[in-house]
Structure 1
Amino acid sequence: MDQLKRSLLEAPIIEKEGYHYFVHPISDGVPKLEPSLLREIVIRIMRKADLDDVDRIVTPAAMGIHISTAVSLMTDIPLTVIRKREYGLEGEVAISQETGYSKNEMYINDVHEGEKVLVLDDVLSTGGTLTAVLSALDGIGAEVIDTVAVIKKAGGENKVADAGYHVKTLINVDVVDGEVVIVDEDGDD
């Protein structure tokens, strides 16, 4: 059994305002993230993502940073982090992000019209974050070559698909009776 699958099956579940949330090193930074798990994920992203002609990786803060940094190091593709802090830099684009358990403003800097980007994130749950990011990148005029989320939480709302965007995933899970259940070991292509 691969490490990603095993780590998800062992993940504790918490409830936040009616939302069942698995606690995992990739999505939460706890328990500790083993280098071998991160390495497995990076290799799987590199095999699944269309990396041809990508100018930069774009990821929302905070839990996409470690994944995207590792992919950037392995591919030599520069990385831009979408932050939850406004900097007021020229060309900064504000976006509203709404997930199953929070609402935030996020800010994209240093992504330009015509750039070809790979969007990476840790978890696709409601699709709120990725929908906002992909819409903002469209508004900027960047060309999204591919979008990959490590884990998809199946069931419930998927705003990203409803908005017409496609996200590849490495593994799809659901939370049933307080436990993580693997829905698709290979995710979505």
Structure 2
Amino acid sequence: MATTADKDGNDDRVARISSAIRVIQDFPKPVIMFQDITTLLLDPKAFKDTIELFVERYKDRDINVVAGIEARGFIFGPPIALAIGAKFVPMRKPKKLPGKVITQEYSLEYGTDKMEMHVGAVQEGERALVVDDLIATGGTLCAAIRLLERVGVHVVECACVIELPELKGRDQLGDKPFFVLVSCWLGLVD
């Protein structure tokens, strides 16, 4: 179940956010259309709009954990967590967190990677929001969900600023609720 922020076309904040995201062709390699959020961060109004839209959606959802996926989920997650009164939990790449961690492996287009979270960062029964800047194939979001659910956390929803719908990442989430601010069609042919 996926929801977009502006399904009826009445919120000018979504248009402002979308226009603040720069697309860089052939970065970091040929055929990639890189969605660059650094230009969004340089626009205080668009950045504020981004955080406000998320906060409006989650402020009354009884969420006590905002899990941000490395690295750009760290930009959006903490201000959302502070605004809704939740703790922020970083979901990191291997060997970036000191102390004991719990690890979840996930598939990439060519190979695998891992995501880690501190042991004890979350407690069984807590309610989490998983935040990242972009969903492409869905691998990192699925790994974050599995990591949290393995320790008894209920993942309320996943939220991303940008979705690349042609890469079908939301399909990987199954029935997990998913919210996105901006959909960017790449013009790919199946």
Shared fold per TM-score greater than 0.5: yes
Mapping of residues 24-173 of structure 1, within 5 Å: 24-25=36-37, 29=38, 33-49=42-58, 51-86=60-95, 87=97, 89-90=99-100, 92-100=101-109, 103-109=112-118, 110-158=121-169, 160-164=170-174, 165-173=176-184
How large is the Cα RMSD of the aligned pairs? 2.6
C-alpha distance in 2, partners of 1:31/1:14? Answer: 20
Once the two structures are aligned, what percentage of the paired residues are identical? 19
- In the other structure, the counterpart of 1:13 is 25
SS at match of 1:12: strand
Could you tell me whether the CA contact under 8 Å between 1:19 and 1:100 is conserved in 2?
Answer: no
Q: Aligned-pair distance for 1:169?
A: 0.8
Structure 2 unmatched ranges of 5 or more: 1-11
Could you tell me whether the CA contact under 8 Å between 2:136 and 2:164 is conserved in 1?
Answer: yes
Structure 1 unmatched ranges of 5 or more: 178-189
Q: TM-score, normalised by structure 1?
A: 0.77
C-alpha distance in 2, partners of 1:84/1:12? Answer: 25
C-alpha distance in 1, partners of 2:89/2:29? Answer: 32
Q: TM-score, normalised by structure 2?
A: 0.76
TM-aligned CA distance change 1:4 to 1:119, over 3 Å = same
SS at match of 1:22: strand
